[in-house]
């Protein structure tokens, strides 16, 4: 957070995405530094998930630039993103329910033996190691993940993202499906990864989570960036005003803020 010398870890410049004439994302620029959590917030349809898909490779942008450590890159598909050290935890978790935890962690990046067969033992071993760090109580390494609880499934999705030494982590509503205890665990994990120097984009509906975890907050409304603020400089009400009215803290009046609680 403190080292701001040099280029940011991720810089997205003037990103545009259009779906059949609808401008889902219109000229949005955000950036992320190592060891920083940037929250992307906004109502439904604000375009935050679409913006982040251009970084994770799920949907290439129609125009705009993405720079990693100052170097322009092109991300056409999820493999490009992963090669650049960008890992994503999707809201849906994107797990194959019929495959076990190691198989999901290594999905698309399977370890193989010298004769080209799947090295299930090595994958299970690696999966046990990363789980030991994330969720030591996780023991169901042989069961298809469809049989596991929501929290355990979340652990598998997170394990997949952190196992491959990611530099950038994208978390799309990581706590939406979780209970309070599991939410706290995910929060602790985010702080731990941040301390390890990862940059994290956190997409969330939950303003409390955001204030708890983020260093900066980028607010989107109908495909545009309202603005990016430092968490310590603003109140929750001011962020709410950005989300709902699209007004920056310096533009909003006390009367409007009072109306939020109407």
Partner 1 sequence: MFILTSETPMTDVATAPQETSPPPKRTFGSLLGSLEIDTRLLGMLGALAVIWVGFHILSGGTFLSARNLWNLSVQTSAVAIMATGMVLIIVTRNIDLSVGSMVGVVGMFMALLQAEFLPDIIGFDHPLTWLITLLAGLLLGALIGGFHGFIIAYVGIPSFIVTLGGLLVWRGVAWALASGRTIAPMDSIFQLLGGGSRGRIGGPASWAVGLAACVGIVFFLLAGRRQRRKFGFHLRPVWAEVALAIIGCAAVLVAVAVINSYPMPEALAKQYAAEHGIEIPPGGIALGIANPVLIAIGVALVMTILATRRRYGRYVFAIGGNPEAATLGGIKTKRTIMMTFVLMGLLVGVGAAVTTARLNAATSGLGTLTELYVIAAAVIGGTSLSGGVGTISGAALGALVMQSLQSGMVLMGVDAPLQDIVVGIVLVIAVAVDTIYRKRVAR
Say whether residue 114 binds partner 1 (CB under 8 A).
Answer: no
What are the distances in angstroms from CA 152 to CA 38, 39, 88, 122, 135? Answer: 25, 24, 17, 21, 8
73 in contact with partner 1 (CB under 8 A): no
Which listed residue (95, 169, 190, 243) binds partner 1 by CB under 8 A?
A: 95
146 touching partner 1, by CB under 8 A: yes
Any contact of residue 208 with partner 1 (CB under 8 A)?
Answer: no
Query: Would you count residue 109 as binding partner 1 (CB under 8 A)?
Result: yes
Question: What does the alpha-carbon distance between residue 92 and residue 94 come to, in Å, rounded to a whole number?
Answer: 5
The C-alpha atoms of residue 241 and residue 260 are separated, in whole angstroms, by 7
> Of 169, 239, 242, 246, nearest to 209 (Cα)?
239
Nearer to partner 1, 47 or 57 (CB): 57
Q: Does 74 bind partner 1 (CB under 8 A)?
A: no
Provide, rounded to whole angstroms, the least separation between the CB of residue 70 and partner 1. 26
Question: Any contact of residue 150 with partner 1 (CB under 8 A)?
Answer: yes
- Residues 8, 61, 103, 174: which binds partner 1 (CB under 8 A)? 103
Q: Which residues bind partner 1 (CB under 8 A)?
A: 56, 58, 77-79, 82, 88, 90, 92, 94-99, 103-104, 107-110, 112, 116-118, 121-122, 124-125, 135, 137-141, 144, 146-152, 154-155, 179, 181-182, 185
């Amino acid at each position: 957070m403190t080292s701001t010398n040099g280029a940011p870890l991720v810089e997205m410049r003037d990103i545009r995405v259009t779906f059949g004439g609808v401008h889902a994302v219109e000229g949005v620029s955000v950036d992320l530094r190592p060891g920083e959590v940037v929250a992307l917030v906004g109502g439904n349809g604000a375009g935050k998930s679409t913006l982040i898909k251009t970084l994770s490779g799920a949907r290439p942008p129609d125009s705009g630039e993405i720079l990693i450590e100052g170097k322009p890159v092109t991300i056409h598909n999820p493999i490009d993103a992963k090669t650049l050290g960008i890992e994503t935890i999707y809201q849906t978790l994107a797990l194959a329910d019929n495959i076990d935890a190691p198989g999901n962690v290594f999905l698309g990046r399977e370890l193989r033996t010298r004769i080209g067969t799947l090295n299930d033992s090595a994958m299970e071993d690696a999966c046990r190691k990363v789980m030991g760090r994330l969720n030591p109580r996780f023991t169901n390494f042989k069961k298809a993940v469809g049989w596991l609880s929501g929290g355990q499934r979340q652990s598998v999705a997170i394990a997949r993202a952190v196992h491959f030494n990611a530099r950038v982590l994208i978390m799309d509503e990581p706590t939406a499906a979780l209970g309070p205890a599991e939410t706290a665990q995910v929060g602790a994990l985010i702080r731990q990864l941040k301390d390890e120097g990862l940059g994290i984009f956190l997409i969330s509906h939950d303003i409390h989570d955001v204030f708890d975890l983020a260093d900066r907050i980028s607010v989107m409304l109908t495909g545009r960036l309202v603005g990016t603020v430092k968490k310590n400089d603003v109140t929750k009400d001011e962020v709410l005003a950005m989300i709902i009215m699209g007004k920056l803290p310096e533009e909003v009046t006390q009367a409007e803020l009072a109306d939020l609680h109407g």
